[in-house]
């Protein structure tokens, strides 16, 4: 297992753990999609929105630059465009883990 | 630390559930074959749990077809969104909800459709493959002739299959002709609109159980504000829908007319049924299906496209049992004898000329009329008569068109025209 594999598995596990605690179901997309790694869904919430959904791309990077206001790191243009596009029924977010190798 | 323990417990729960699923589907596959033996039209095809992951197939599904499918299966729209909607299906035991994408250009269309299929799979307890197949047929009427005489193997011999599929085609052709004009007999040359129909309608994959042919007749959807469940006799009915409706009415008319004919011993009820779309061609197609299907009768099931509603006064299924067949044979024979068919084609050789020397005369051609072996007498004059004499002397086969009618003991071709010699037939000699 490479360092990158470890980072990937860890970031997925972390996202699932947080979601599970919040009683949100997590699935992976049926059709291979470069820009979506996980789908979060809360079933039948009874609120204004039925079964709210959110899709996420998960990234774990150690190439980030941190300032007091933001975290900056490089992202492929294709992924960037697909994340910020409004052309989806279910909105997408980017989950980013910043790791530091010790 | 507690977080990891929590995650581990959830993982083992998930595995347990998966094991149950695999066992259940094995049982379903083997149990199904026995149950299917006499299943009329509720077919449980493979219980194979296949999740469709092919983006191409998913993207090819049309949202409006899904809408029609959902409505026809008890779902209703619960909350509209900008490019999609939430749909709900409520029953006593369980409620189901899905998010339907309505714009196939959406970037996440494929995955949303995949989710819809997953929900439908759970809600209907059948495979995604079956559901997608049915989706493809939402904008079509589906006719399924079932042949009980073929056993439960779900296969036909090559010989049987050829007969069955040809007769299924003839069945739809007869219905299309009747949709244009009701006649007891249609000539070999069929109207262009009927031939066009044969190019639109399709054979789908056969269903399992005793052999079931699947005929798909596409129907353009009706655009109206209210979705009526039962279709009124609307002024405009697409030709394809009219063809299938006429077929359903004709088959039902056969069912009742045959009983009456058997009781009274008269052919009159069958003649009256011509008004409902019955013809010699239709009878012969049914006879062919029965013969190719093992001689145990034919059962027709109709699935009407939900986009057009169910036509009133039709029934499904309609079973034509083997005892019906002899009456259909007699009906076809009588209709062929007594009907005057325009545009009949006669092919054969000139065997007799009444007046070899004069300008005109009676000519007898022995061969076939609309494919049926006959000796036909016709009156020819001028050029045509000259050609006939030549054909008689040189023994060259001929072709001719006209109105075929029975006169006493002979067959007569009235208004004979397009008399031509088939020289290619003798070129090799």
Output the CATH code of domain B341-426.
2.40.50.140
Write out the two tokens for B294: 């093992």
What local confidence, expressed as pLDDT, does residue B321 receive? 95
Backbone angles phi, psi at B387, to 5 degrees: -60, -40
For residue B46, CA distances in Å to B57, B81, B282 come to 19, 35, 34
Interface of A with B in 26-65 (CB under 8 A): 29-33, 36, 39, 44, 50-51, 53, 55
Packing angle of the helix pair B239-264, B192-200 (nearest 10 deg): 110
Residues 6+ apart with CB under 8 A from B119: B96, B97, B98
What's the burial of B235, exposed, middle or buried (CB within 10 Å: 0-12/13-18/19+)?
A: exposed
Helices (H), B147-272: 158-180, 192-200, 239-264, 268-272
In chain B, which segments carry CATH 2.40.50.140? Answer: 341-426
Mean pLDDT of chain B: 82
By the CB < 8 Å criterion, does A13 face chain B?
yes
B97–A44: do the CB atoms touch at under 8 Å? Answer: yes
What pLDDT, on the 0 to 100 scale, is given for residue B298?
96
Instruction: Count CB atoms within 10 A of the CB of residue B288.
Output: 18
Higher-pLDDT residue of B109, B154:
B109
pLDDT surpassing 70 at residue B27: no
Band (pLDDT 50/70/90 cuts) for residue B221 is low
Query: B58 near B52, Cβ under 8 Å?
Result: yes
In this structure, what DSSP letter does residue B220 have?
P
Q: Which of A16, A20, A29 is opposite residue B111, by nearest beta carbon?
A: A29
Residue A48 is predicted with a pLDDT of 54
The mean-pLDDT minimum among A30-44, B72-86, B237-251 falls in A30-44
Which residues is B365 bridged to in the sheet? B350, B376
* pLDDT tens digit at each of 102 positions of chain A: 888 888 888 889 999 999 999 999 999 999 887 789 999 998 765 555 568 899 998 888 777 788 888 888 888 888 788 878 888 999 988 888 777 766
Q: Do B110 and A53 touch (CB under 8 A)?
A: no
Instruction: At A7, list the tokens.
Output: 């980072």
pLDDT-above-70 percentage for chain B? 85
Identify the pLDDT of residue B429.
Answer: 60
B308 contacts B371 by C-beta, under 8 angstroms: no
pLDDT in tens, B170-182: 999 999 999 999 9
SS3 B299: strand
Is the pLDDT at B41 greater than 50, yes or no? no
For chain A, the DSSP string reads: --HHHHHHHHHHHHHHHHHHHTT-EEE--SS--TT--EEEE-----SSSSS-EEEEEEEEES--EE-SS-EE----HHHHHHHH----SS-EEEEEEE----
* Closest by Cβ to A20, choosing from B6, B79, B107: B6
Smallest Cα distance from B236 to chain A, Å: 38
């Amino acid at each position: 297992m490479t360092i990158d594999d470890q980072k990937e598995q860890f970031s997925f596990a972390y996202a699932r753990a947080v979601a599970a605690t919040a009683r949100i179901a997590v699935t992976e997309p049926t059709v291979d999609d470069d820009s979506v790694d996980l789908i979060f869904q809360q079933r039948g919430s009874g609120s204004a929105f039925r079964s709210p959904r959110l899709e996420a791309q998960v990234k774990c990077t150690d190439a980030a630059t941190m300032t007091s206001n933001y975290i900056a790191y490089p992202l492929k243009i294709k992924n960037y465009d697909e994340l910020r596009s409004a052309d989806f029924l279910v909105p997408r977010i980017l989950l980013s883990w910043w790791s530091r190798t010790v | 630390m507690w977080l990891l323990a929590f995650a581990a417990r959830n993982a083992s729960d998930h595995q347990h559930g998966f094991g149950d699923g695999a066992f259940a589907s094995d049982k379903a596959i083997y149990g199904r074959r026995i149950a299917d033996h006499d299943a009329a039209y509720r077919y449980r095809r493979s219980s194979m749990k296949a999740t469709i992951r092919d983006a191409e197939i998913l993207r090819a599904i049309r949202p409006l077809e899904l809408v029609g499918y959902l409505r026809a299966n008890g779902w209703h729209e619960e909350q509209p969104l900008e490019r999609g909607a939430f749909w709900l299906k409520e029953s006593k035991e369980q409620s189901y909800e899905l998010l339907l994408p309505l714009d196939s250009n959406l970037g996440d269309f494929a995955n949303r459709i995949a989710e819809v299929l997953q929900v439908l799979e759970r809600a209907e307890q059948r495979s995604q493959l079956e559901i997608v197949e049915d989706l493809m047929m939402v904008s079509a009427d589906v006719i399924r002739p079932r042949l009980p005489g073929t056993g439960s193997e779900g296969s036909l011999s090559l010989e049987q299959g050829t007969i069955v599929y040809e007769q299924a085609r003839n069945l739809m052709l007869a219905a299309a002709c009747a949709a244009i004009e009701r006649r007891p007999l249609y000539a070999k040359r069929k109207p262009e609109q009927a031939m066009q129909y044969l190019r639109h309608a399709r054979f789908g994959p056969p269903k399992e159980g005793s052999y079931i042919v699947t005929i798909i007749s596409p129907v353009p959807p009706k655009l109206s504000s209210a979705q009526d469940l039962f279709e009124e006799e609307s002024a405009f009915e697409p030709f394809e829908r009219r063809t299938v409706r006429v077929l359903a009415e004709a088959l039902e008319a056969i069912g009742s007319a045959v009983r009456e004919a058997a009781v009274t011993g008269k052919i009159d009820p069958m003649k009256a049924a011509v008004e409902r779309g019955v013809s010699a061609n239709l009878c012969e197609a049914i006879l062919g299906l029965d013969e190719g299907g093992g001689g145990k009768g034919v059962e027709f099931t109709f699935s009407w496209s939900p986009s057009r509603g169910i036509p009133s006064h039709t029934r499904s299924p309609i079973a034509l049992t083997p005892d019906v067949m002899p009456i259909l044979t007699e009906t076809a024979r009588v209709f062929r004898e007594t009907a005057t068919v325009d545009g009949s084609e006669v092919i054969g050789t000139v065997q007799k000329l009444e007046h070899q020397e004069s300008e005109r005369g009676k000519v007898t051609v022995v061969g076939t009329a609309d494919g049926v072996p006959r000796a036909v007498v016709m009156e020819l004059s001028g050029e045509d008569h000259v050609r006939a004499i030549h054909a008689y002397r040189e023994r060259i086969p001929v072709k001719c068109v006209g109105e075929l009618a029975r006169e006493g003991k002979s067959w007569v071709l009235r208004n004979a025209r397009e008399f031509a010699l088939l020289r290619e037939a003798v070129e090799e000699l």
